[in-house]
Amino acid sequence: MARKRGLRRPVVLLLTLALVGGAVYTAVSFLQRSETLVSERCTAVVGSQTAELATDQAVNASLITAVAVQRGLPPRAASIALATAMQESKLRNISHGDKAGPDSRGLFQQRPSQGWGTEAQIMDPYYAANAFYDALVKVPGYESLEITDAAQRVQRSAYPDAYAQHEEMGRYFASGLTGQSPEAVNCTLRSPDAPGDPARVAAELSQAYGALDTTAEAQTLTIEASGARAWSVAHWAVANAKGLAVINVEVAGRSWSRGGDGWQVSNAADSQVRITVSPPIDS
């Protein structure tokens, strides 16, 4: 009997280890599946209305809107630009045209043959956005025109009524990304798969908004800004969080955390935007 009891101990130990190992494996697998099942997307909520974009579309929307902010244009200009780009390219920087415009390229499907610039220039999203706004501001009274009318006067599209279907998306994202509607833009994302680089965030911000008063400490970038401009920068950071490995954004008493439930109350300063990116793996 003593020998049998002695044999039972290692058997029980092995079974226990197997069960623990199985539980750990199950937990890890569950977490991995949970991450995989996260539907990455970005939304703009204004009042009771919501618009949704894919994460890559939101990046381009934030770029187009930031250029309008940098130029001092009204939110209406951004609304028109976003609706136009959604119709022309689905807010993606595509390198091909269609039968109506085989040489059309970029976010706005601008054509070198129509004087919009070289193909290389048009494929630069910042150049393309500025070129669109250069043409838009020449349209008399564009701010009071219907979005589809203003867009058509710039684009000269074969389908002039098509822009109207993207008007709500354009207005909601423009309202959030220009900072007119605080806490409007939120992105649901998986965990970062690489560390972030504050210097890269600063460079992208500078290109989008022009010169900004920024300082960096460890993985956090601090931008001196207030009011609508602060919220514009904060929403830009959220819209670009996937590609830039942003994990936290703080502004005006609110904070956004990757994997969190939208904007939450915090002790963030009113005159600063703080953007934190994912730390190096060995830190």
Distance CA 106, CA 184 (A): 27
Q: Give the pLDDT band of residue 234 (cuts 50, 70, 90).
A: very high
Q: Is 128 exposed, middle or buried (0-12, 13-18, 19+ CB in 10 A)?
A: buried
Residue 12: Cβ within 10 Å count: 10
pLDDT digits (tens, 9 = 90+) for 174-202: 999 999 999 999 999 999 999 999 999 99
Write down the mean pLDDT value for the chain. Answer: 88
Residue 12 pLDDT: 44
Could you give phi then psi for residue 214, rounded to 5 degrees?
Answer: -125, 150
As a whole number of Å, the CA-based R_g of the chain is: 24
Contact yes or no for 268/250 (Cβ under 8 A): yes
Q: Give the pLDDT band of residue 157 (cuts 50, 70, 90).
A: confident
pLDDT for residue 7 is more than 70: no
Distance CA 244, CA 276 (A): 10
pLDDT for residue 166 is more than 60: yes
The closest of 129, 154, 128 to 139, measured between CA atoms, is: 154
Own/partner contacts of 210-219, CB < 8 Å, gap of 24 or more, are 210/70, 218/279, 219/195, 219/276, 219/277, 219/278, 219/279
Q: Give the pLDDT band of residue 218 (cuts 50, 70, 90).
A: very high
pLDDT for residue 255 is more than 60: yes
**Range of weakest confidence among 29-43, 57-71, 122-136, 182-196:** 29-43
pLDDT for residue 86 is more than 90: yes
**Ramachandran bin of 138, using left for φ above 0, alpha for ψ from -120 to 50, beta for the remaining angles:** alpha
CA 12 to centroid of chain Cα atoms: 53
| Average pLDDT of the segment spanning 139-159 | 89
Distance CA 225, CA 216 (A): 15
194 vs 74, 191, 221, CA distance in Å? Answer: 36, 9, 18
**Range of weakest confidence among 99-103, 131-135, 219-223:** 99-103
| Of 157 and 48, more confident | 48
pLDDT for residue 279 is more than 90: yes
pLDDT for residue 227 is more than 60: yes
Residue 103 pLDDT: 82
Residue 20 pLDDT: 44
Share of the chain above pLDDT 70, in %: 84
pLDDT digits (tens, 9 = 90+) for 10-42: 444 444 444 544 544 444 344 444 556 679 999
Residue 282 pLDDT: 67
Kindly list the domain boundaries of the chain, sorted by start residue.
Answer: 43-177, 190-277
| 110 strand-pairing partners | 105
Distance CA 230, CA 214 (A): 12
What strands lie across the sheet with 185-188, from one edge to the other? 49-53, 41-46, 185-188
The pTM of the full predicted model, rounded to 2 decimals, is 0.85
Share of the chain above pLDDT 90, in %: 76
